[in-house]
């Protein structure tokens, strides 16, 4: 009998079996997450909160602080006679919901300093779980944690889950197959007072919880992480009561399994993955699924992608298919940025150029799709999509903690800058100044400001001089010793030339388009402002040769003749103000005259 219950020796690493199973049947597997999923983010367990609160009570009473081993004994001797538990302790310390929330805030809500250090905020594991949900691989998450890190990570991906944190919420819940994501918080939420915490409270679940658990355990495969089973006897009983499993159970653990976990693994013939801390396990699963994506659906060639886009654009009911083309490329870029190697100790100009060239090569298909999409979208049906593409690329940046070289860190915004420049050129090429302004102003990114962050528009976050370093670009080996007055402008011009050339016909036409677009971008930055004293981005359109003898910038005259004044004269509040607009043209000209000059001409 013991041999029958012994887990079978897997032919492959269990991670391989898990990835292929989830990839083959997206949405069929549910997650069961314990405290180990959140402790790495600095969030205490429920019992950790109880012990800390009892320590506060002891300190306030002038008593010696009890040790963890003696805490229940201390409570029996000094408490109010009720069993030590999260709910009873909160009720006695804070009688109103507002008071309880304030008392718990320090355990679950980060201070500005903690947020800056990445403590008590969604960590690598939570973001990877959100990525699994975003791709449709997971639709149900069961957690024994009180924190809201899973919900926050999902919301950052634009997913607002159905959260079930009490038996009362079960009755009106949307059916599990119909909801994009359901988070079942078995032990409750930290801001409520009906949590389950003590061994007695966790010995059995109420009938509504039990029925919901039985359904999930019967209808879904299960991926367990960060849960030991040592204290939650009710959940153990539910798992033991599930005699036949439709789909496999996978159990990932940081260390060796305990006796209860081993018993459950043997009963369900589970696949065991040891040495799998949540912050490594979930990103690894995402990476494996994405590798299987590439195998099942090889990337389209550039020509095929553009050809498909041209077929889809004119059809008013093909919006989803158009968006999918771009989402595929965004996902590939996001994957690359997630795994981009750290900066070398002392990167030389050649290493920095190789890094920029690698990013540019990976962006080529997306840039060509954007150029053709914006240029051919004559009825502006897809402008919101172009805005979303820029915003998603900005958010694909993984703000490296402690990145020693800001030039390397800023590479993570280079795809977004290339995309913005490409889309802007295409918008100006078809005389859609309204689309250009939406591209420059609507996508937002949060930058550090004091102890927090503030949202800024793409034209600020992706300012040429914010993403690309002047001296770095000017020392690239590609220039063979030549230096440029505005090297960032020169680099972006060369990188967008092959993308726009098929649309504009020849290099002279492209150069005029590039100068025209740079001038409009600088004007938008002058009209609506950029931070950190950057000012409007100068470029090849503002070198000495582009100024007439009377001091007029050629591209200002071109703008006055060809621009849609109705679009440009509108203030941020929507009112037209021609006088203010005229003054801003003069201000911009002066800003460009005094922009930082370097001796060589572009």
Question: Which residues on adjacent β-strands are paired with residue 140?
Answer: 182
Is-contact 374 427, C-beta < 8 A? yes
pLDDT at 299: 65
Pick the closest to residue 372 from 518, 416, 493, 364 (CA basis): 364
Q: In whole numbers, what is the pLDDT of the chain averaged over residues? A: 84
Question: Which residues on adjacent β-strands are paired with residue 142?
Answer: 32, 184
Task: Give every CB contact of residue 252 below 8 A, 6+ residues apart in sequence.
Answer: 223, 224, 225, 273, 274, 276, 278, 281
Q: Which tens digit of pLDDT belongs to each residue from 467-500?
A: 999 999 999 999 999 999 999 999 999 999 999 9
pLDDT range class, residue 336, cuts 50, 70, 90: confident
DSSP secondary structure of 41-56: GTPPPHHHHHHHHHHH
pLDDT at 257: 87
pLDDT range class, residue 357, cuts 50, 70, 90: very high
What 3-state DSSP class applies to 162?
strand
Q: Which tens digit of pLDDT belongs to each residue from 153-203?
A: 998 888 899 999 888 889 889 999 999 999 999 887 776 655 554 455 556
What 3-state DSSP class applies to 301?
coil
pLDDT range class, residue 88, cuts 50, 70, 90: low
CA 416 to chain centre: 14
Assigned token pair, 599 = 């001796």
pLDDT at 456: 92
> Which tops the pLDDT comparison, 202 or 541?
541
Cα distance between residue 559 and residue 581, in whole Å = 12
pLDDT at 6 over 60: no
Angle at which helices 278-296 and 319-338 pack, to 10 degrees? 130
Do the bridges between strand 182-185 and strand 452-457 make them parallel or antiparallel, or are there none, so unpaired? unpaired
Cα distance between residue 346 and residue 8, in whole Å = 50
CA 457 to chain centre: 17
Within 10 A of 15 (CB to CB), how many other CB atoms are there?
17
Task: Give every CB contact of residue 156 below 8 A, 6+ residues apart in sequence.
Answer: 122, 127, 130
């Amino acid at each position: 009998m013991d041999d029958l219950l012994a887990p079978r020796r897997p032919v492959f690493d269990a991670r391989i079996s898990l990835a292929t199973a989830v990839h083959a049947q997206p949405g069929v597997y549910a997650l069961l997450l314990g405290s180990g999923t959140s402790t790495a983010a600095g969030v205490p367990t429920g019992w950790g909160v109880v012990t800390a609160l009892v320590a506060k009570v002891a300190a306030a009473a002038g008593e010696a602080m009890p040790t963890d081993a003696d805490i229940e004994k201390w409570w029996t001797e000094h408490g109010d006679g009720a069993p030590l538990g999260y709910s009873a302790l909160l009720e006695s310390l804070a009688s109103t919901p507002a008071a309880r929330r304030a008392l718990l805030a320090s355990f679950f809500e980060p201070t500005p300093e903690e947020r800056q250090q990445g403590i008590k905020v969604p960590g690598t594991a939570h973001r990877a779980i959100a990525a699994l949900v975003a791709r449709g691989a997971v639709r149900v998450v069961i957690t024994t944690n009180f924190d809201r890190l899973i919900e926050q990570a999902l919301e950052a991906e634009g997913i607002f889950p159905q959260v079930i944190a009490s038996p009362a919420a079960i009755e009106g819940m949307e059916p599990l197959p119909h909801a994009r994501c359901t988070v079942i918080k078995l032990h409750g939420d930290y801001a409520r007072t009906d949590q389950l915490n003590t061994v007695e409270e966790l010995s059995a679940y109420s009938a509504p919880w039990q029925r919901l658990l039985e359904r999930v355990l019967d209808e879904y495969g299960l991926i367990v992480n960060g849960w030991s089973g040592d204290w939650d006897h009710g959940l153990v009983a539910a798992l033991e009561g599930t005699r036949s499993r439709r789909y496999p159970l996978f159990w990932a653990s940081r260390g060796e399994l305990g006796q209860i976990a081993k018993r459950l693994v043997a009963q369900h013939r589970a696949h065991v993955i040891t040495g799998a801390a949540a912050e490594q396990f979930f990103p690894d699963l995402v990476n494996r699924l994405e590798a299987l994506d590439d195998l099942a659906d090889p990337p389209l060639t550039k020509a095929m992608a553009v050809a498909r886009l041209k077929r889809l654009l004119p059809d008013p009911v093909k919006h989803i298919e158009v968006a999918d083309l771009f989402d595929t490329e965004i996902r590939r870029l996001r994957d690359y940025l997630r795994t981009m190697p750290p900066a070398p100790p002392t990167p030389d100009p050649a290493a920095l150029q190789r890094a920029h060239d690698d990013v540019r090569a990976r962006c080529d298909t997306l840039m060509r799709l954007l150029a053709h999409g914006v240029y051919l979208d004559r009825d502006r049906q897809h402008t919101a999509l172009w805005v979303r593409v820029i915003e998603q690329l900005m958010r694909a940046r993984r703000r490296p903690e402690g990145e020693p070289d800001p030039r390397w860190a800023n590479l993570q915004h280079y795809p977004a800058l290339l995309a913005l420049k490409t889309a802007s050129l295409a918008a100006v090429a078809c005389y859609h100044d309204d689309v250009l302004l939406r591209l420059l102003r609507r996508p937002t990114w949060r930058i550090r400001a004091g102890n927090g962050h503030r949202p800024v528009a793409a034209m600020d976050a992706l300012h040429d001089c914010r993403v690309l370093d002047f001296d770095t670009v000017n020392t690239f080996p590609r220039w063979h010793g030549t230096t440029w007055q505005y090297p960032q402008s020169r680099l972006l011009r060369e990188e967008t030339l092959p993308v726009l050339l098929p649309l504009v016909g020849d290099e002279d036409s492209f150069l005029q388009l590039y100068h025209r677009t740079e001038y409009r971008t600088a004007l938008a930055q002058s009209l609506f402002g950029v931070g950190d004293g950057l000012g409007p981005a100068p470029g090849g359109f503002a070198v000495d040769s582009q100024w007439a003898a009377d001091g007029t910038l050629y591209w200002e005259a071109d703008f006055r003749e060809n621009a849609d004044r109705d679009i440009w004269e509108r203030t941020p509040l929507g009112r037209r103000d021609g006088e203010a607009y005229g003054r801003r043209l003069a201000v911009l000209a002066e800003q460009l005259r005094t922009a930082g000059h370097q001796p060589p001409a572009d």
